[in-house]
Amino acid sequence: MSTYKYARIPAGGERITAEGDRLRVPDRPIIPFIEGDGIGPDIWAATRHVVDASVTTAYGDEREIRWMEILAGEKAHRRTGEWLPEETFRALREFRVGIKGPLTTPVGRGIRSLNVTLRKVLDLYSCVRPVRWIEGVPSPMKEPQKLDVVIFRENTEDVYAGIEWESGTPEADRVRAFLTGEMQAAIREASGIGIKPISPFGTKRHVAAAIRYAIDRGRTGMTLVHKGNIMKFTEGAFADWGYEVARERFPDETVPESRIWNGEDADGRIVVGDRIADAMFQQVLLRPDEYDILVTPNLNGDYLSDACAAQVGGLGMAPGANIGDGVALFEATHGTAPKYAGQDKVNPGSVILSAVMMLEHLGWNEAAQRIERGLAGAIGAKTVTYDLARQMDDATKVGTFRFGEEVVGHM
Ligand code: NAP
């Protein structure tokens, strides 16, 4: 194991290794965590308590996570003078699986966002967000239980790649001059200009990851969500390359939806279809139970994840992960909610559910199921944090850590 200046490698732990795209998980894996800023320390303390209890309840003394704190955000800046020390990236690469709380975006220091930097440097190319209703969570839908999807959002390309030029700058004028002069494009004077790159490389590795996820978890459908009717060579190509990956790399495990429409039996294979993005927003409202894994480019996925999360009760209970070839980083999807920092008040549900995803990623499904049962029990008993309590009748409002203890109590 390499040496770290700030982080301590916990005694008795072992490294998670990989064989091809499969993880080899020892009984005492070392898992790095980033506590996070603002409400991070509160929600992390509750989450760690819940995860440790789930592993003990499921496996007794046989398994245990050896947590290793790594620094990022304000805590890192206080201790090291840096927002994201180099060794934090190194630890995530070395130990392969990590979990984090939310991080403040430092303003005006040349860093766009610590989260974006982590994703970029570690090449975490798929953002994975399962969206499923937990019984008892207040929802604006009549039948929230009908939505059970996993959104795979591409993380590195699209208009989010950050290639853009401000209106009126010499750079924007030069790009416009090239496009209007040499490419015969019509672009108004003084336009701000952004570029939307979508590549076969970026698309195919992302879609392949979604298919492997579907196979591992026995999911039955995958929908490529795109706006290819308008943006043919980016979004349309995304769908074409997606079908190509399914056909060429997973011929026995997948079947295109068109063949099912022609009367073929799915026969246990994953049915691969596609939808235009605007229609997809209608479908998740009107026919949610017909959808399973939704694979999207970056921008569509950003919108769709929050819209779906709202259907099952909002971002407070929405988990996520950013996954690349060697590293997976699980995280809360909300921010640092600074006005509640240190008050032991907010809902730790989002990080707890991210930890459920992490345990499933390790193959520790028994522990993951215990947490899901515990969460459902605590929410069913209406012993919840302020955000859920204010939407429920007769709820008992509890603090962050106490909510964690309630989850443990219902495992
Ligand atoms: P935010 O931190 O997500 O908070 C917005 C509101 O959402 C809160 O005021 C609260 O609503 C509710 N909320 C968030 N987390 C909650 C929880 N665990 N339990 C209950 N309610 C919760 O968004 P923000 O204020 O826009 O962003 C603050 C900072 O977080 C910024 O620096 C931003 O850059 C950063 N950020 C980080 C991440 C990340 O690390 N992944 C993601 C997004 C934002 P009420 O006021 O209604 O109670």
CB of 48 sitting under 6 A from ligand 1: no
CB atoms within 10 A of CB 186: 6
Q: What is the pLDDT of residues 154-184, one digit of tens each?
A: 999 999 888 999 999 999 999 999 999 999 9
Assigned token pair, 214: 């579907």
**Nearest to 91, CA basis, from 69, 74, 121:** 69
Dump the DSSP string for 190-246.
T--EE-----HHHHHHHHHHHHHHHHHTT--EEEEEE-TTTSIIIIIHHHHHHHHHH
How far apart are the CA of 318 and the centre of ligand 1, in A? 12
- 192 pLDDT higher than 60: yes
Burial 37-73 (b: 16+ CB within 10 A, else e): bbbbbbbbbbbbbbbebbbbbbeeeebbbbbbebbbb
Q: What is the pLDDT of residues 108-148, one digit of tens each?
A: 656 678 988 899 899 999 999 999 999 889 899 999 999 99
How far apart are the CA of 342 and the centre of ligand 1, in A? 14
How far apart are the CA of 322 and the centre of ligand 1, in A? 18
Q: If you take atom 9 of ligand 1, which residue's CA is the nearest one?
A: 337
pTM of the full structure = 0.94
CB atoms within 10 A of CB 220: 12
pLDDT at residue 108, as a whole number: 62
pLDDT at residue 222, as a whole number: 98
Assigned token pair, 233: 């060579």
Q: Locate the ligand 1 atom nearest the alpha carbon of residue 337 and give its number.
A: 2
- 315 pLDDT higher than 90: no
CB of 334 sitting under 6 A from ligand 1: yes
| Arithmetic mean of pLDDT, 3-11 | 94
CB of 399 sitting under 6 A from ligand 1: no
Q: Locate the ligand 1 atom nearest the alpha carbon of residue 36 and give its number.
A: 40
**Which of 43, 118, 334 has the most ligand 1 atoms within 8 A of CB, as the residue to mutate?**
334
CB of 106 sitting under 6 A from ligand 1: no
pLDDT > 70: percent of the chain: 99
Q: Which residue has the tokens 């049962």?
A: 373
pLDDT at residue 20, as a whole number: 82
CB of 317 sitting under 6 A from ligand 1: no
pLDDT at residue 161, as a whole number: 84
- Looking at per-residue pLDDT, the higher value among 118 and 21 belongs to 118
Q: What is the pLDDT of residues 351-363, one digit of tens each?
A: 999 999 999 999 9
pLDDT at residue 21, as a whole number: 77
pLDDT at residue 109, as a whole number: 57
- 103 pLDDT higher than 80: yes
How far apart are the CA of 302 and the centre of ligand 1, in A? 16
Q: What is the pLDDT of residues 372-382, one digit of tens each?
A: 999 999 999 99
How far apart are the CA of 168 and the centre of ligand 1, in A? 34
**Helix orientation angle between 400-409 and 40-59, rounded to the nearest 10 degrees:** 10
How far apart are the CA of 334 and the centre of ligand 1, in A? 5
| Arithmetic mean of pLDDT, 299-308 | 94
CB atoms within 10 A of CB 27: 12
Asked whether the beta carbons of 156 and 125 are under 8 A apart, the reply is yes
CB of 335 sitting under 6 A from ligand 1: yes
* Catalytic residue list: 160, 227, 278, 302
**Which of 103, 105, 336, 390 has the most ligand 1 atoms within 8 A of CB, as the residue to mutate?**
336
| Arithmetic mean of pLDDT, 211-229 | 96
Return mean pLDDT, the chain.
95
| Arithmetic mean of pLDDT, 15-29 | 93
Instruction: Classify residue 395 by its DSSP letter.
Output: P
Assigned token pair, 62: 């046989």
CB of 353 sitting under 6 A from ligand 1: no
Q: What is the pLDDT of residues 41-97, one digit of tens each?
A: 999 999 999 999 999 999 999 999 999 999 999 999 999 999 999 999 999 999 999
Q: Locate the ligand 1 atom nearest the alpha carbon of residue 101 and give its number.
A: 40
